[in-house]
Copies of this chain bind each other. A is one copy, B any other.
């Protein structure tokens, strides 16, 4: 039930990019703006790039920008790219769970939990976050 540092850092960097949607930002700018360990952020940006969420420009005057409009990137998508499924029990997805005897209704609870989490994470986009501030 914890959001990892990786996901938190990724979202902070992405929102920063969304708010700065005109030009590019360097990894170092993002790191200092959000107080994220620079080398760690670099590795996160690499994952976001290979996931197609961020585009990069190399060399001097280089940097990062969102690969798609901020309104089309949800928090849920970011989490899925970095960590897989939104909600799992012992690493297995709720719909794949099997319980014996009286524990059977537990499955429905995890399904409902996931649905509620999705309600929040799927609906909110980077644009929502960037304009709210």
Contacts and interface: CB of A to CB of B under 8 A. Distances in A.
A75 to B, nearest CB: 7
A88 B8 CA distance: 11
- Stoichiometry (number of copies): 2
Given A15-B106, A120-B109, A100 B34 contact: yes
Contacts of A133: 101-105
Interface of A: 1-5, 8, 11-12, 15-16, 18-20, 33-35, 75, 79, 83, 85-91, 99-106, 108-110, 112-113, 116-117, 119-121, 124, 128-130, 132-133
Contact of A11 (B1, B34, B103, B119): B103
Given A116-B116, A120-B109, A102 B1 contact: no
14 contacts: A1-B87, A1-B117, A3-B88, A8-B90, A12-B103, A15-B103, A34-B103, A35-B100, A101-B133, A102-B133, A108-B132, A112-B120, A113-B117, A116-B117
